[in-house]
Chains A and B, each alone.
Chain A
Amino acid sequence: MSSVRPDLIEKVTGRAEYITDLTVPDMLHGFVVRSPAVHARIASIDTSAARSMDGVVDVLIGEDVASFGCWGVVLKDRPIIAIDRVRYVGEPVAIVIAETIEIAENAAERVDVGYEELPRAATIQKAMADGAPLIHEHHENLQDFYFKGGAKPTQGSNIFHTYRNNVGDVDAAEAAAAYVHEDHFTFPAISHFAMEPHAVIADFKGDSLTVWAGAQTPTAVQKVLSRLFGLQLAKVRVIVPFVGGGFGGKASVKIEPLVAGASWKVQRPVRVAQSISDSMLTCRRLGAEVTIRTAVDAKGRILAKSAKLLLDGGAYSDTGSAVATKSANRIIGPYAVPNLRLEASAIYTNTVPGAAFRSIGGPQAVWAKESHMDNVAAAIGMDPAEFRLKNLAARGERTRPDLRALDMDMSELMGRVTQSFASESQASNRRSRGMAVAATDPANTPIANAIVRLKIDGSILVSVSSIEVGQGAHATMARIAAQTLKQPFSAVSTLRTDTAVAPYDWGTGASRSTVVVGLSVENAALDAADQILDMVVDVWELPKESLSLVEGGVSTGSEVLTFHQIFHRTLGVDSGEVVGRGAITPRSKKGALAESPLFWETSAGLAEIVVDEDTGEIHVPRYASAADVGRVIDRVAAEGQDEGAAAMGFGHALYEQLEFEDGQPVNATPIDYTIPRISDVPPVFDTILVENGDGPGPGGAKGMGEGAILPVAPAIANALFSAYGIRITDLPMTPEKVWRALQKRK
């Protein structure tokens, strides 16, 4: 039992607390009134009927908080609540604040808002067209605010960011090539669909603000609220209890300013607990249009690759600019390509704002790139696996000059997934197989702090800003502290996240916590160890080299001094602790962490499919996923992350699409939006975690948890292509789409 994650025990016994389990004294409830209009001027808001209802305390509308201005994490484009205009269906226009949630919701029906429709641009094409209505008139960039760098908007257009990266001379390479092939792919908007929708409690008290939020990046929330409301950072406290799923949908900042605005208005704690449908109107993955072109020589070596990606960023930019940049990096893949022309833009549309989502920009890029790889292989008459192997970048080779050299062997991962299928000979005629690979550059920002406190009884407290969102980060931090201090795992507790206690960290996302925060925990544990050893050196007058930590104390070589003895004799009283501090910065480890990416997040996927040719339905009886993770710290958690990511990939591949009809959401409810169930996951599923101990994290760990989502859709599409010669270019691969493609072929 001692090694079971403590958070899991709390969860299965029902003791784990999420936001909606908390009550704050004097707390009120807010219900958000949302825009039914796609793009409109707010002509009038009449809140009098709602206000007059018993139990309604107040109603927040835009003009109340207009003077605070806008916020953002890359572009400052977002008001606390719509002021004079709404830009998407679902945009908050009022919050009814009442004694109970029932009263608030009933009163919300009485808030009367008048809208005057404006011309809309609800798709990438419409937003890019000549004379398209501008969704934001001007763009204000916040440099280095959240990510290093910022956005490059095109003034007077809906393009809020463009990233370009050119290497070599693509035109010359194409002119010299034996073969050039171009494809076009699209990728839909996808809902994060976390089991726990967004929920926030905000408590404004004069010049201080406490927020309970399921936030993945609590320090970003703290910073945005501090700037927005003009509060000192130290007066803004963000507390994050257990979070019921984030997947990026709770990263950066979401409804915290809105709820804080409501609390500011009434100067009492206010809770807003959204429904899943509300959360489906809060953020989603960016859809994409991708054009990709590859030039190869007569032997099948890739000479040049160019890609143009247009990402549908929705009505507010959030981190869409970073998603676009990453999509351009992630479309390179683990291949050595001497000439590259990459361009990605993020575009405002009148739809739900786009946001980070498990491997930002990755699925969009890898869907296109890996489908395209099989098309190119077919066009030149080469086996797709052979074509990949021929073009892989080797360990130590760079895929682009400004990116860290590859720290893994993709051919090893390809070999491992193929071996996994080896027990069953070749696929039969009806069964076919497809493969896809990915190498992505997580934005794992090497900035983190940790505190490790060793107490007189040998118990240990770890304090970090990483959140526990089910991935097991808190237990992993405890394990790292335990291993570094040579103490049992059961002696270590990780504190729930609270910015008033935990030191600064960038946030939980981009597969960074185990490596970056883990290293800071390791440093903090070493610092604590150092302090305890120094006490022994000082008081017992022993050379430090002769001392070592052992379970429960320090060995001097001849005897074991318990922590108790050490503290007691050193301090003179029977109590005390040492406080170890660990920091990671881009300058740590002689700058070795500064180069991007800190490690490569890699994966290979092999899918076996069976198609019902009469209905077009795809079944996936078997799937193998491989990732190079450096070192596994917690096997159950690591496999769970890999499998969970792949299962999400099945959703992307076969089921999911957040649909809009001219800007109106069509299926933004859990009833109409389909995600895969456990019965839809392949019955034979092999998870392979390659461990070479060569990562930058504790014990050689690399980050993981996002990579396995990437190969699924293209692997399935490639299997379909290999069996039937049909190429699906837009997701999801619904039965009807597949059936139509089969019909066309006949």
Chain B
Amino acid sequence: MLPTPFEFERASTIADAVSAVGQEGDGMFYSGGTELLLAMKMRVIHTERLVDIKGIPGLDRIVLNDANELEIGSRCTHMKIAGDSVIREHVPALASLCANVANVRVRSVGTIGGNLCFGEPHADPPTLLGALDARLVLQGPNGTRSVHADDFIRSELETVREPDELMIVIIFPRPTGPITYRRFKHGERPSVNVGMVWSMEAGAHSIKSARVRVGALGSRPQPLKAVEGVLKGLPVHDAHRAIQSVLAQALDELDVNEDRHGSADYKRHLAGVLLLRNAEEAVAMRGRAT
């Protein structure tokens, strides 16, 4: 099928792109197009104007900034993140996440910004970025604002972003402990995924704090508060057992949709399986490091 007719504009600056989308009628940013064009061809998205942001310089940078934070430009493709040396050094779990998103055609043009802005619940990056405590920087006609990854997706296919706000960059503190991520999929997209990030002092044997996010079960990634609570201040080697002790209760608190990816009890169970496997990996990683 083909999309309904639309205008096409190429922006060369952020300001141009923002104002082009904001004009009369419905405009939309066009990045890799991997979600957008499919939806337009299926005629579930209609837009009068596509504003191509591929020509805007500087949106695909990856750096460790002076504040010891990682910055990932919204236009970075999954392929680029997967192969980037800074990411591979500091956040290897994110590199491997991106290396396994979708298929090679999607990875080579699809971007992390496009992934987040589409708000698809069965997605990988939002889960890990939530665990990494990332903030997403949006630029609109009235300047920029940043939104926590946890607060960005409002509901299925809906985010807090205004139509004329462009996502510029994703920023998160350089991780200090093990980062683990696992997904379960049988088909194209993840049915469940779990990201866990431990903050640790250099050389320490206990976890200063932990962030755990479970994705794809509801409309957006959910924290496992009970697990985070029990891990706080805990020696690494007790982590696995501690998680097990609160797991049933923690999983019970998750909102789980029953959908084509499986029934609720199965997916809830899978979340526990993935979390425990993450924990084993994190313990092993820390064991290696110290």
Contacts and interface: CB of A to CB of B under 8 A. Distances in A.
B266 A739 contact: yes
12 contacts: A101-B2, A102-B5, A105-B2, A277-B1, A614-B273, A615-B273, A617-B184, A669-B42, A671-B38, A736-B263, A739-B266, A739-B269
Given A615-B273, A736-B263, A739-B266, A674 B188 contact: yes
Interface of B: 1-2, 4-5, 38, 42-43, 103, 184, 186-188, 260, 262-263, 266, 269-270, 273
B4 A106 contact: yes
A106 B6 CA distance: 12
B186 A740 contact: no
Contact of B266 (A666, A677, A740): A740
B1 A105 contact: yes
Contact of B184 (A615, A666, A671, A740): A615
A669 B44 CA distance: 14
Interface string A653-682: 001000000000011010110100100000
Contacts of B42: 669
A735 interface: yes
- Interface on chain B toward A: helix, strand, loop, or mixed SS? loop
Given A615-B270, A736-B262, A736-B266, A671 B2 contact: no
Given A677-B103, A735-B186, A739-B266, 13 more contacts: A101-B2, A102-B5, A105-B1, A105-B2, A106-B5, A614-B273, A655-B186, A667-B260, A671-B38, A671-B188, A674-B187, A736-B266, A740-B266
A674 to B, nearest CB: 4
Contacts of A275: 1
A71 B270 CA distance: 51
Contacts of B187: 655, 674
A418 interface: no
Nearest to B272: A614
Interface in A663-709: 666-667, 669, 671-672, 674, 677
A459 interface: no
Contacts of A677: 103
**Chain B CB within 10 Å, residue with most, of A101, A275, A736:** A736
Contacts of A277: 1
Contacts of A735: 184, 186
Nearest to A275: B1
A20 interface: no
Interface in A276-295: 277
B251 to A, nearest CB: 14
Interface of A: 101-102, 105-106, 109, 275, 277, 614-615, 617, 655, 666-667, 669, 671-672, 674, 677, 734-736, 739-740
Shortest 8 CB-CB distances between A and B: which pairs? Answer: A674-B187, A614-B273, A736-B266, A736-B262, A735-B186, A105-B2, A275-B1, A102-B2
A277 B42 CA distance: 10
B186 A734 contact: yes
B266 A672 contact: no
A672 B186 contact: no
A452 B25 CA distance: 64
A666 B270 contact: no
Contacts of B184: 615, 617, 735
A553 B168 CA distance: 74
B175 to A, nearest CB: 27
A671 B103 CA distance: 12
B188 A666 contact: no
Nearest to B276: A614
A739 B270 CA distance: 10
Contacts of A614: 273
A614 B272 CA distance: 10
A555 B151 CA distance: 87
Contacts of B2: 101-102, 105
A740 B187 CA distance: 19
Contacts of B263: 736
B1 A674 contact: no
A544 B270 CA distance: 78
**Chain B CB within 10 Å, residue with most, of A101, A106, A615, A739:** A615
Contacts of B266: 736, 739-740
B273 A617 contact: no
A714 B42 CA distance: 37
B38 A674 contact: no
Given A275-B1, A617-B186, A666 B273 contact: no
Contacts of A669: 42
Nearest to A274: B1
A667 B260 CA distance: 9
A164 B5 CA distance: 56
Contacts of B103: 677
A602 B230 CA distance: 60
Contacts of A101: 2
B266 to A, nearest CB: 5
Nearest to A669: B42
A192 B263 CA distance: 27
A293 to B, nearest CB: 32
A615 B5 CA distance: 45
A303 to B, nearest CB: 41
A151 B59 CA distance: 65
Given A615-B273, A617-B186, A735-B186, A672 B260 contact: yes
Contacts of B269: 739
A109 B43 CA distance: 10
Nearest to B4: A106
A342 B123 CA distance: 49
A109 B184 CA distance: 39
Nearest to A732: B186
Contacts of B262: 736
Contacts of A655: 186-187
**Chain A CB within 10 Å, residue with most, of B4, B38, B186:** B186
Contacts of B270: 615
A230 to B, nearest CB: 34
A663 to B, nearest CB: 17
B47 to A, nearest CB: 15
A666 B1 contact: no
B186 to A, nearest CB: 5
A47 B184 CA distance: 48
Contacts of B186: 617, 655, 674, 734-735
A662 to B, nearest CB: 16
Contacts of B188: 671, 674
A677 to B, nearest CB: 8
B138 to A, nearest CB: 28
Nearest to A31: B1
Contacts of A102: 2, 5
Contacts of A671: 38, 188
Contacts of A617: 184, 186
Nearest to B273: A614
Contacts of A736: 262-263, 266
A109 B260 CA distance: 28
A617 to B, nearest CB: 7
A655 B4 CA distance: 33
Contacts of B43: 109
A106 B46 CA distance: 12
B155 to A, nearest CB: 20
Nearest to B1: A275
A385 B1 CA distance: 50
A109 B3 CA distance: 12
A677 B185 CA distance: 14
A615 B262 CA distance: 12
Contacts of A105: 1-2
